[in-house]
């Protein structure tokens, strides 16, 4: 009898799958990218030069003054699978940054950014035999996951001259997924619905470095890289898996030869496949390229404030596959930035339209609004 | 300037609206679950076990007079029950209208107001209800002593009631002289009611326990401006146990009950009421390590056509809370609590498979070791003692296919891990 139960338990466990409900939420979740509203509004092109975006630690050197930055980025998502659709709203606070210049050459930055966001909820209704062979009832499987893996970075940048900056970062990847799973049966007089909760915790480390070089006033280059260390996952006190955090490399080019206009392009590579070993199921992770191009231009003056207008496009491969197919994302973004209160604060806004697809049948559209507020105390 | 201000305000308003509306998260993407949500919970496992290790029929032991109704029945050779109502405290003085209190010297229009359950009446009538003086010094709970007093020299009165005379409130008139004699002598008035008729007769009367107590009314003066006196049932004995005395305010005595079930059969209900006690041996890996979503006791009902086979009864399962120290199943069957769930509606004349849902019992069984709390239940009828009907089931002594069994549907805990 005991062997029978073990066999049943193994069979049940081996049939687990991911109940994420969206292309972008496969596996460990959606990579928000650590970009500010400014960088998002320009397709990610300026990310390596943006002192607030947490991509290139060297860019911190260009921050100018001490600053605190907060970003709120809700996403309105619509997933279509054949004739079925689902609309969701995800509220994210993907970026908090504090930057502190120390003297003329050094700048220290502490940030927390969402690395992989797995917040989702699904309700799957299926027929289940409960009792006699003729007793089939509809059971609703409710699976809710809240939480994310976050990248906490402490970075230091050195700027010897306006043409060259170099920076280093130490990253702690921490976070948790709070999971609640319920099986809800229709008749509480006959059946007992089940409910269980769990928390998956993550901890890992990485290091990053980057440079920013402006050989002339019209052109700039940036290179950055992050080397991932071990990422461990545990449930309560039990280790349930480990993997290497994905390596990340990026290169950017900025052109400012047109007065009032800055054009930037960026290409990055993420070694997401290193996370595959963390998966307990069949979820596959692919390495992916992330390319973006965008421009910033001085816009009109509104209430005596110069508004910066932005536009860009971005194409990237999301980390986790759906049914073995890579999930690609194409985004188009526009945005603006405006100084506030005597240049001691600034507000950035971006709106991105992201199209995601994997295979022929499933489409996803995301409308991401980003509100960024920078305050210089 | 004005245009700029207007633009800024419009944008600020739009941004505020969007920010507020997006604060209320809606993560539910169930609409595409057919494609994007693989099953997580796995299959429910269903097993049927010969889990019953002990079963027996026990007396309800709820005690004489605890039932919410009184059964006055004369069903030929099958059933004969009488109703006893005690008026042990009768008034000796009254206050006429406009006068002072004085001793009662006459009794007029004496009757007992009965609250009749008219929907349960059996027989077409007419119903002859006889009243007897059943006052005795014999043991209070001795039915035999009381039954012996239904004899001519104890006869008080008789009243013939047509079927249409039996209403929700029915007045049964008794001898004024008997009431006067009792109250003047300071004696107890204990009335025994018996029904007879040309045909089978059965009348259910609400008892004190139902809250609609029988009441004795009489006039102490012919003057109709003075209100009649009313007397509620009251038993002085047993003086040492006021709770039992309270139950004995009114009660049913069974002169002849339906034939008892054979020893190898489980029975629920009847008069005197019976319960079925069942104890299980359930594998601990099911109770402790899985989540039971449904548990069904599979019984085989045996037809019992002795009395009203098409009438229905409600059976309810109860969890036995008596610990292992209580080894007597009859006593253990009195220490019970409800198992939340539906009642089971059954007819005595039916036969075949009958299911009793028990899933809620597993929560208690999981919490307490079987070494402390036997995994046992009791089956009882709703309103024990109200009805002479009993339901019968095959016991574990029957052939294998008809024995009580337990079918359990369970699911293992889902490992909440990385997808």
Q: Is the pLDDT of residue B155 over 90?
A: yes
Which residues, 6+ apart, have CB-to-CB distance to A259 below 8 Å? Answer: none
How many contacts (CB atoms, under 8 Å) link A and B? 229
Return phi, psi of residue A376, to 5°: -110, 110
Helices (H), B60-119: none
Q: Structure tokens of A127?
A: 């027929």
The SS3 call for residue A11 is helix
Number of domains in chain B: 2
Burial grade of B345 (CB within 10 A; 0-12, 13-18, 19 or more) = exposed
Does the N-terminal peptide bond of residue A223 adopt cis geometry, omega within 30 degrees of 0? no
Residue B89's domain comprises 80-256
Tell me whether residue B29 is in a domain. Answer: no
Which residues, 6+ apart, have CB-to-CB distance to B241 below 8 Å? Answer: none
Q: For residue B281, what pLDDT is reported?
A: 94
The rounded distance, in Å, linking the Cα atoms of B3 and A117 is: 40
Specify whether the backbone of B409 is left (phi greater than 0), alpha (psi in -120 to 50) or beta.
beta
Mean pLDDT check: name the lowest of A11-15, A34-38, A49-53, B352-356: A11-15
Q: Shortest CB distance from B29 goes to which of A72, A86, A191? A: A86
pLDDT (tens digit per residue) in B171-222? 999 999 999 999 999 899 999 999 988 788 999 999 998 889 999 999 988 8
Q: Which of B232, B256, B280 is the last residue of a domain?
A: B256
Q: Is there a contact between A39 and A94 (Cβ–Cβ < 8 Å)? A: no
- The candidate with the shortest Cα–Cα distance to B252, out of B383, B128, B342, is B383
Q: Is there a contact between A356 and A327 (Cβ–Cβ < 8 Å)? A: yes
B329, containing H or E segment? helix B329-332
**B3 CB within 8 Å of a chain A CB:** no
Q: What is the mean pLDDT of residues B82-100?
A: 90
B187 with B289, same domain? Answer: no
State whether A194 and B342 contact (CB < 8 Å): no
- The candidate with the shortest Cα–Cα distance to A308, out of A351, A273, A260, is A260
Q: For residue B127, what pLDDT is reported?
A: 92
Q: Is the pLDDT of residue A365 over 90?
A: yes
- The candidate with the shortest Cα–Cα distance to A320, out of A354, A282, A283, A290, is A283
- The candidate with the shortest Cα–Cα distance to B393, out of B334, B352, B357, B361, is B352
Q: Is there a contact between A119 and A94 (Cβ–Cβ < 8 Å)? A: no
- Look at the block and give the residue holding tokens 């709820």: B62
Q: Shortest CB distance from A122 goes to which of B37, B294, B418? A: B37
pLDDT (tens digit per residue) in B9-42? 666 666 666 666 666 788 888 878 777 777 676 6
Chain centre to alpha carbon of residue A346: 23
Tell me whether residue B225 is in a domain. Answer: yes
Q: What is the mean pLDDT of residues A1-18?
A: 38
Q: Structure tokens of B131?
A: 């009243």
Q: Report domain extents, chain A.
A: 2-375
Q: Shortest CB distance from A371 goes to which of B19, B289, B362? A: B19
Tell me whether residue B384 is in a domain. Answer: yes
The rounded distance, in Å, linking the Cα atoms of B380 and A83 is: 53
CATH code where residue B394 lies:
2.60.120
Q: What is the mean pLDDT of residues A166-189?
A: 92
Q: Which of B256, B284, B317 is the last residue of a domain?
A: B256
Burial grade of A121 (CB within 10 A; 0-12, 13-18, 19 or more) = buried
- The candidate with the shortest Cα–Cα distance to B57, out of B234, B197, B260, B259, is B260
pLDDT (tens digit per residue) in A59-84? 999 888 899 999 999 999 999 988 88
Q: For residue A2, what pLDDT is reported?
A: 43
In sequence order, the β-bridge partners of residue A30 are A117
Average pLDDT, chain A: 89
Q: Is the pLDDT of residue B4 over 60?
A: no
B303 with B225, same domain? Answer: no
Q: Which of residues 118-147 of A touch B (CB under 8 A)?
A: 119-126, 128-132, 139, 141, 143-144
- Look at the block and give the residue holding tokens 């034939």: B259
- The candidate with the shortest Cα–Cα distance to B418, out of A80, A377, A280, is A280
- The candidate with the shortest Cα–Cα distance to B49, out of A189, A4, A137, A134, is A4
Q: What is the mean pLDDT of residues A130-153?
A: 90
**B419 CB within 8 Å of a chain A CB:** yes
- Look at the block and give the residue holding tokens 């070694």: A271
B251 with B269, same domain? Answer: no
pLDDT (tens digit per residue) in B41-65? 667 899 999 999 999 999 886 678 8
Burial grade of A162 (CB within 10 A; 0-12, 13-18, 19 or more) = exposed
Q: Which of B256, B273, B295 is the last residue of a domain?
A: B256
**A10 CB within 8 Å of a chain B CB:** no
Q: Is there a contact between B381 and B269 (Cβ–Cβ < 8 Å)? A: yes
**A350 CB within 8 Å of a chain B CB:** no
Band the pLDDT of B391: cuts 50, 70, 90.
Answer: very high
- Which residue in A has a C-alpha nearest to residue B8's C-alpha? A302
Q: For residue A100, what pLDDT is reported?
A: 95
**B181 CB within 8 Å of a chain A CB:** no
B305 with B347, same domain? Answer: yes
B229 with B363, same domain? Answer: no
A-chain residues near B282 (CB < 8 A): none
B247, containing H or E segment? helix B242-247
Q: What is the mean pLDDT of residues B363-391?
A: 90
Tell me whether residue B34 is in a domain. Answer: no
Query: For residue A132, what are the CA distances in angstroms to A128, A135, A136, B340?
Result: 11, 5, 8, 21
| Number of residues assigned to chain B | 419
User: Higher model confidence: residue A167 or residue B339?
Assistant: A167
Q: Structure tokens of B358?
A: 């028990």
Q: Is the pLDDT of residue B99 over 90?
A: no
- The CATH class that applies to domain A2-375 reads mainly beta
Mean pLDDT check: name the lowest of A110-114, A179-183, B238-242, B412-416: B412-416
- Which residue in A has a C-alpha nearest to residue B343's C-alpha? A189
Q: What's the maximum distance between 2 C-alpha atoms anywhere in chain A?
A: 81
- Considering just the CA atoms, what is the radius of gyration of chain B in Å? 31
pLDDT (tens digit per residue) in A240-277? 889 999 999 999 999 999 998 999 999 999 999 999 88
The rounded distance, in Å, linking the Cα atoms of B266 and A66 is: 84
Q: Is there a contact between A45 and A312 (Cβ–Cβ < 8 Å)? A: yes
Q: For residue B12, what pLDDT is reported?
A: 67
Tell me whether residue B418 is in a domain. Answer: no
Q: For residue A14, what pLDDT is reported?
A: 34
B406 with B319, same domain? Answer: yes
CB atoms closer than 10 angstroms to residue A117: 26
Q: Which of residues 291-320 of B touch A (CB under 8 A)?
A: 291-294, 296
B192 with B273, same domain? Answer: no
ipTM of the complex: 0.78
Is beta strand A106-117 parallel, antiparallel or unpaired with respect to A238-244? unpaired
Burial grade of B8 (CB within 10 A; 0-12, 13-18, 19 or more) = middle
- Considering just the CA atoms, what is the radius of gyration of chain A in Å? 23
Return phi, psi of residue A313, to 5°: -135, 150
State whether A91 and B22 contact (CB < 8 Å): yes
- The candidate with the shortest Cα–Cα distance to B339, out of B314, B356, B354, B322, is B356
Smallest CA–CA separation between B365 and chain A, in Å?
A: 15
Tell me whether residue B71 is in a domain. Answer: no
Q: How does DSSP classify residue B44?
A: P
Q: What is the mean pLDDT of residues B326-351?
A: 90
B299 with B385, same domain? Answer: yes
The rounded distance, in Å, linking the Cα atoms of B169 and B212 is: 10
State whether B38 and A240 contact (CB < 8 Å): no
Q: Is the pLDDT of residue A203 over 50?
A: yes
- Look at the block and give the residue holding tokens 């700039």: A220
Q: Is the pLDDT of residue B294 over 80?
A: yes
Q: What's the maximum distance between 2 C-alpha atoms anywhere in chain B?
A: 116
Tell me whether residue B400 is in a domain. Answer: yes
Q: Shortest CB distance from A18 goes to which of B32, B38, B357? A: B38
The rounded distance, in Å, linking the Cα atoms of B381 and B232 is: 29
- Look at the block and give the residue holding tokens 């998502």: A77
B243 with B162, same domain? Answer: yes
Q: Is the pLDDT of residue B302 over 90?
A: yes
């Amino acid at each position: 009898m005991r062997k029978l139960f073990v066999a049943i338990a193994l069979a049940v466990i081996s049939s687990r799958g991911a109940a994420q409900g969206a292309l972008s939420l496969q596996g460990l979740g959606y990579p928000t990218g650590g970009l500010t509203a400014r960088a998002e509004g320009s397709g990610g092109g300026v990310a390596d030069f943006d002192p607030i975006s947490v991509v290139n630690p060297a860019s911190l050197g260009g921050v100018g003054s001490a600053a605190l930055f907060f970003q709120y980025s809700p996403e309105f998502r619509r997933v279509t699978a054949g004739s079925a659709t689902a609309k969701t709203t995800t509220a994210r606070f993907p970026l908090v940054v504090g930057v502190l210049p120390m003297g003329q050459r050094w700048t220290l930055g502490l940030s927390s950014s969402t690395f992989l966001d797995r917040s989702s909820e699904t309700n799957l209704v299926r027929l289940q035999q409960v009792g006699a062979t003729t007793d089939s009832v509809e059971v609703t499987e409710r699976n809710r996951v809240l939480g994310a893996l976050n990248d906490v970075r402490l970075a230091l940048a050195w700027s010897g001259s306006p043409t060259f900056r170099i920076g280093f970062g130490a990253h702690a990847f921490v976070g948790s997924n709070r999971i609640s799973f319920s099986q809800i049966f229709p008749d509480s007089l006959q059946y007992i619905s089940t409910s269980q909760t769990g928390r998956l915790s993550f901890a890992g480390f990485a290091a990053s470095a980057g440079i920013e070089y402006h050989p002339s006033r019209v052109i700039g280059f940036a290179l950055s890289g992050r080397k991932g260390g071990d990422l461990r996952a545990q449930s309560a006190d039990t280790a349930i898996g480990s993997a290497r955090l994905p390596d990340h490399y990026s290169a950017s080019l900025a052109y400012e030869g047109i007065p009032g206009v800055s054009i930037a392009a960026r290409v990055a590579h993420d070694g997401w496949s290193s996370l595959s070993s963390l998966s307990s199921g069949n979820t596959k992770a692919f390495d992916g390229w992330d390319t973006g191009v965008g421009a910033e231009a001085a816009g009109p003056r509104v209430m005596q404030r110069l508004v910066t207008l932005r536009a860009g496009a971005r194409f990237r491969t999301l980390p986790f596959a759906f049914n073995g197919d890579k999930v690609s994302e194409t985004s188009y973004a526009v945005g603006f930035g405006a100084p506030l209160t005597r240049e001691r604060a600034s507000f950035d806004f971006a709106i991105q339209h992201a199209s995601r697809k994997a295979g022929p049948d499933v489409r996803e559209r995301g409308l991401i609004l980003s509100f960024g507020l920078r305050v210089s105390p | 300037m004005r245009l700029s201000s207007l633009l800024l305000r419009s944008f600020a308003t739009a941004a505020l609206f969007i920010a507020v509306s997006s604060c209320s998260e809606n993560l539910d993407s169930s609409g595409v679950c057919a494609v994007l949500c693989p099953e997580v919970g796995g299959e429910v496992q269903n097993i049927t076990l010969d889990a019953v290790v002990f079963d027996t029929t026990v007396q309800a032991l709820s005690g004489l007079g605890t039932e919410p109704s009184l059964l006055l029945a004369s069903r030929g050779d099958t059933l004969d029950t009488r109703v006893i109502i005690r008026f042990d405290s009768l008034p000796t003085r009254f206050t006429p209208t406009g006068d002072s209190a004085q001793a009662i010297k006459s009794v007029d229009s004496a009757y007992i107001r009965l609250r009749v359950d008219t929907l349960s009446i059996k027989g077409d009538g007419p119903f002859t209800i006889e009243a007897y003086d059943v006052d005795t010094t014999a043991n209070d709970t001795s039915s035999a002593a009381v039954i012996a007093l239904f004899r001519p020299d104890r006869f008080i009165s008789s009243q013939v009631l047509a079927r249409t005379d039996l209403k929700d409130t029915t007045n049964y008139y008794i001898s004024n002289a008997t009431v006067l004699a009792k109250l003047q002598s300071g004696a107890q008035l204990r009335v025994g009611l018996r029904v007879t008729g040309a045909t089978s007769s059965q009348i259910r009367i609400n008892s004190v326990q139902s809250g609609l107590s029988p009441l004795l009314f009489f006039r102490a003066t012919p003057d109709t401006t003075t209100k009649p006196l009313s007397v509620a049932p009251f038993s002085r004995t047993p003086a040492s146990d006021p709770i039992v005395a309270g139950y004995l305010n009114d009660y049913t005595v069974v002169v002849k009950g339906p034939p008892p079930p054979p020893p190898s059969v489980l029975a629920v209900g009847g008069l005197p009421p019976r319960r079925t006690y069942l104890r299980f041996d359930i594998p601990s890996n099911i109770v402790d390590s899985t989540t039971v979503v449904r548990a069904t006791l599979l019984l085989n009902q045996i037809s019992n056509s002795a009395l009203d086979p098409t009438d229905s009864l409600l059976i309810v399962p109860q969890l036995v809370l008596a610990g292992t120290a209580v080894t007597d199943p009859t006593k253990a069957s009195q220490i019970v609590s409800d198992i939340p769930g539906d009642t089971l509606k059954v007819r005595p004349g039916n036969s075949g498979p009958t299911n009793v849902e028990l899933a809620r019992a597993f929560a208690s069984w999981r919490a307490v070791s079987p070494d402390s709390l036997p995994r046992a239940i009791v089956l009882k009828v709703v309103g024990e003692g109200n009805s002479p009907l009993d339901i019968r089931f095959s016991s574990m002594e029957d052939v294998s296919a008809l024995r009580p069994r337990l079918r359990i549907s369970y699911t293992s805990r889902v490992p909440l891990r990385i997808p």
